[in-house]
Amino acid sequence: MNALENRPSLRAAEVGAVRGVGKRYGKFTAVDEVSFSLRAHAVYGLLGRNGAGKSTLMRMLAGHAQPTTGSVAVFGENPFENDEVTRRICFAAENQVYPDAFRIKDVLAAARLLYPDWDQAYADDLVEVFDLPVDRRIGKLSRGMRSAVGIVTGLASRAPLTMFDEPYLGLDATARQLFYGRLIADYAENPRTILLSTHLIDEVSGLLEHVLVIDRGRLVIDEEAEALRGRAISVSGPTDTVEKFTYAMTRLHEEQLMGRSRVTVLGDADDPQHARVLGLDVESVSLQDLVVKSAMTGERR
Amino acid sequence: MDEGRPIFLQIAEQLENAIVDGSLAEGAQAPSTTELAAFHRINPATAGKGVNQLVSDGILQKRRGIGMFVAEGARGVLMERRRHAFAEQFVVPLVSEARKLGFDAEELKNMIDKSGQGVTQEGKR
């Protein structure tokens, strides 16, 4: 039994609300008219290419930046320079800046003061798991160690909204698996809202309950991970049959070779059966594929 | 895990397989949602959805405060369900591929008889 199942009322509550948010830097539009909600006790994946706007969105949710248009609310309030709200948010940023003289243990001591739900015993345990030299200055750490410091802070903060921005840079496959394992185990014991941005989609896709895909500043997919797995299929066969079958569907990607087409669509649960009746081949599509294909097509929807 | 299919369905299938092949006996305790989540590195809610599907099918029974147990008669129910699906899942594709390759019915029967030697004995259980 995990604690999630016992608290149905909390699951439904809204933790974050992003409404029509845009962020411009001069003439560059980093985020364009994005709206979505984050509910309590769920793991979200924020997926997309480099420069798609993932970090910018996270910075706005963390209260580190203000939107140019639209509004961001976390726990019902604007998080920007709002201590009451930001104490309940932990943002493990990709390029976290620390004071020059800070050693790892200073970072963890500061985090302990900052986050009301901080678990020191758990932090100590994680420091050991990731083999971190607590007396070493942050400036002297390898990229992987810096990432591990972010992971320890993010997990031990137990913040009701915890965000990890590409938390694995410089970590090898073993250390990444350690992180995923610890994340799942701790999340089962201490449910909270987790937003994880990543390129390594295959590695984390099982962890995600909800998927947000952002492409060139715009939100292109906002859906439950399991529903996406069920709906995303790739259909191939003679081009005219494929065209007829996929005509009215949300088409994410298409390829043609020698009179044959392969089209990736978001369909309904019974579409695979219909496609097979028409003699078409149906393949399932992984989240990784789906994200890559949505980002390759340009305009959708 | 097959990345393209809903994970909760795969969790349910794995549990069913274990019950059918006897590695998870009737009356035995099934793994908890947390154990399944940790083992497969999947979200506990997803694992829970797979387990709950078997609960609503009557395959698993929830004992409050203790965990999930395989219901009496669960194996028979699952075997019966799979027997029903056998023709569509296995025989139809077999015949369709055999036709593509130009085997006639006699040849196909011979092949089945040949690979079925040994199964006939076991199948009588």
Yes or no, beta carbons of A208 and B43 under 8 Å apart:
yes
In a domain, A301, yes or no: no
Query: pLDDT averaged over chain A?
Result: 89
* pLDDT of the residue at A151: 96
Question: Which residues in A have their CB inside 8 Å of a CB on B?
Answer: 1-2, 4-5, 42-43, 177, 180-181, 184-185, 187-188, 202, 205-209, 225-227, 229-230, 232, 283-288
Question: Looking at per-residue confidence, does A147 or A3 come out higher?
Answer: A147
pLDDT at A164 over 80: yes
A9 and A107 share a domain?
yes
Percent of chain A residues past pLDDT 70, beyond the cut: 94
Between the alpha carbon of residue B92 and those of residues A3, A149, B96, B99, the distances in Å are 45, 56, 6, 11
* pLDDT of the residue at B118: 62
* pLDDT of the residue at B125: 47
A280: Cβ–Cβ under 8 A, 6 or more apart, which residues? A235, A236, A237, A241, A242, A245
Question: Looking at per-residue confidence, does A45 or A258 come out higher?
Answer: A45
* pLDDT of the residue at A300: 42
In a domain, A285, yes or no: yes
A209 and A282 share a domain?
no
B65 and B82 share a domain?
no
Between the alpha carbon of residue A105 and those of residues A109, A138, A294, B113, the distances in Å are 6, 10, 42, 71
A233 and A212 share a domain?
no
B60 and B24 share a domain?
yes
pLDDT at A251 over 60: yes
With cut-offs at 50, 70 and 90, classify the pLDDT of residue A62.
Answer: very high
A132 and A271 share a domain?
no
Residue-range definition of the domain harbouring residue B94? 75-123
In a domain, B2, yes or no: no
B66 and B88 share a domain?
no
In a domain, A221, yes or no: no
Yes or no, beta carbons of B1 and A42 under 8 Å apart:
no
With cut-offs at 50, 70 and 90, classify the pLDDT of residue B122.
Answer: low
Mean pLDDT on B11-16: 95
The domain that holds B22 is classified in CATH as: 1.10.10.10
Interval A83-142: pLDDT, tens: 999 999 999 988 888 887 899 999 999 999 999 999 999 999 999 999 999 999 999 999
CA dihedral A96, A186, B11, A228 (to 10 degrees): -30
Per the structure, the count of domains in chain B is: 2
Per the structure, the count of domains in chain A is: 2
Beta bridge partners of A44: A195, A210
Yes or no, beta carbons of B43 and A185 under 8 Å apart:
no
With cut-offs at 50, 70 and 90, classify the pLDDT of residue A273.
Answer: confident
With cut-offs at 50, 70 and 90, classify the pLDDT of residue A297.
Answer: low
CB atoms within 10 A of CB B124: 6
The domain that holds A171 is classified in CATH as: 3.40.50.300
Beta bridge partners of A265: A233, A251
Q: Classify strands A161-165 and A89-92 as parallel, antiparallel or unpaired.
A: parallel
Beta bridge partners of A91: A163
A211 and A260 share a domain?
no
pLDDT at B68 over 90: yes
Yes or no, beta carbons of B5 and A230 under 8 Å apart:
yes
Interval A125-159: pLDDT, tens: 999 999 999 999 999 999 999 999 999 999 999 99
Instruction: Tell me the shortest Cα–Cα distance from A264 to chain B, in angstroms.
Output: 12
Distance (Å, rounded) from C-alpha A155 to C-alpha A162?
8
Between the alpha carbon of residue A239 and those of residues A246, A257, A268, A290, the distances in Å are 10, 9, 21, 21
Which chain A positions have a beta carbon within 8 Å of B44's beta carbon?
2, 4, 184, 187-188
Structure tokens at A4: 């999630």
